[in-house]
Amino acid sequence: GDSVTQMEGPVTLSEEAFLTINCTYTATGYPSLFWYVQYPGEGLQLLLKATKADDKGSNKGFEATYRKETTSFHLEKGSVQVSDSAVYFCALSGGNQFYFGTGTSLTVIP
Amino acid sequence: NAGVMQNPRHLVRRRGQEARLRCSPMKGHSHVYWYRQLPEEGLKFMVYLQKENIIDESGMPKERFSAEFPKEGPSILRIQQVVRGDSAAYFCASSARETGAADTQYFGPGTRLTVL
């Protein structure tokens, strides 16, 4: 069945460091792929999405490219800020539901 | 444009009581999804509903849990005779699948259920 495997955390980075959070997926068909961000005590907010192979989603300096050949959708940001501290979830749309990774906690220190 | 609304945000119940969680989708959305998030885990799908119809309940526990999305009013997730293991964050999401514009799901802030 469909599934998402996400890099385990927690991840701690200094401000302005480069961020990569790995995400790979298994799916039948051609799902859309998503990154969501969850701040403490809040719901999930859509960060970016890509709907087909080679699409690049981007938002707020974050970006991820839908790689069909490696079944990956890694999240990157060139220079993180303290305000980026949150939990990041990779997800794919499959049929009637979304499949989520277990989340990667990111802490950015000044 | 209001987002997905959920209430209550926090709910405390004693074992054996009933919990009712409410979700109002985004304006223009008629597809609602419920997910459960256990501590330190990702979200797990529970049920997908359209107005007056349950489309997919493959993630719902067979007993004590039910969901509805009436013609008027919010979607309700109902948990009867709660047990400590039901303590979790319950998230509702909505989408506008019928428009074809997006299969993106937009999430509410969640209801955090604590069973004493």
Of B48, B104, B109, the CB nearest to A49: B104
The stretch A21-49 carries a mean pLDDT of 91
pLDDT score recorded for residue B99: 47
* % residues pLDDT > 70 (chain A): 100
For residue B47, give the chain A residue with the closest CA.
A97
Contacts of B108 in chain A (CB under 8 A): 43
Q: How far is CA B112 from the centre of its chain?
A: 11
- Strands A62-65 and A56-59, sheet pairing: antiparallel
Higher-pLDDT residue of A53, A29: A53
Backbone angles phi and psi of B99, in degrees to 5: -80, -20
Give the closest of A98, A101, A102 to B105, CB-based. A98
- pLDDT digits 0-9 by tens, B98-111: 544 447 889 999 99
> Residues of A at the B interface (Cβ-Cβ below 8 Å)?
6, 32, 34, 36, 42-46, 49, 89, 93, 95-103
Contact A98 B56 (CB under 8 A): no
Q: Which of B68, B92, B93 is nearest to B78 (CA)?
A: B68
Least confident of A2-16, A84-98, B46-60, B100-114: B100-114
Span B42-51, pLDDT tens digits? 889 999 999 8
The count of other CB atoms within 10 Å of the CB of residue A8 is: 13
pLDDT in tens, B6-18: 999 999 999 999 9
Q: What is the pLDDT of residue B1?
A: 52
Phi–psi pair at B84, nearest 5 degrees:
-60, -35
Strand B111-115 to B10-13 pairing: parallel
State the nearest Cα–Cα gap between B77 and chain A, in angstroms.
17
Q: How high is the pLDDT of residue A7?
A: 84
Average pLDDT of the residues in A28-39: 90
The predicted structure's pLDDT at residue A58: 97
pLDDT category at A49 given cuts 50, 70, 90 is very high
On the 0-12 / 13-18 / 19+ scale of CB atoms within 10 A, A72 is middle
From chain B, the residues in CB contact with A100 under 8 A are: 35, 42-44
Residues A48, A95 contacting (CB under 8 angstroms): no
Confidence of residue B41 (pLDDT cuts 50, 70, 90): confident
Q: Which of A21, A38, A96 to mutate to test the interface with B (most CBs of B within 10 A)?
A: A96
How large is the greatest C-alpha to C-alpha distance in chain B, in angstroms?
43
Q: Please tell me the distance from the alpha carbon of residue B50 to that of residue B69, in angstroms, as a whole number.
A: 7
Task: Find, in chain B, the residue whose alpha carbon is nearest to that of A3.
Answer: B44
Band of pLDDT at residue B84, cut at 50, 70 and 90: very high
Half-sphere exposure of B20 (CA within 13 A, CB side): 6
Would the pLDDT of A108 be above 70? yes
Q: What is the pLDDT of residue B100?
A: 43
Q: E strands of chain A, at which residues?
A: 3-6, 11-14, 19-21, 23-26, 33-38, 44-50, 56-59, 62-65, 75-77, 86-94, 97-100, 104-109
A36 with B93: Cβ contact below 8 A: no
Q: Mean pLDDT of all residues in chain A?
A: 93
Taking an 8 Å cut-off on Cβ atoms, the answer to whether B41 and A103 are in contact is yes
Residue that the structure tokens 């303590």 belong to: B87
Please tell me the distance from the alpha carbon of residue A79 to that of residue A14, in angstroms, as a whole number.
Answer: 9
- Is A57 in contact with A64 (CB distance < 8 Å)? yes
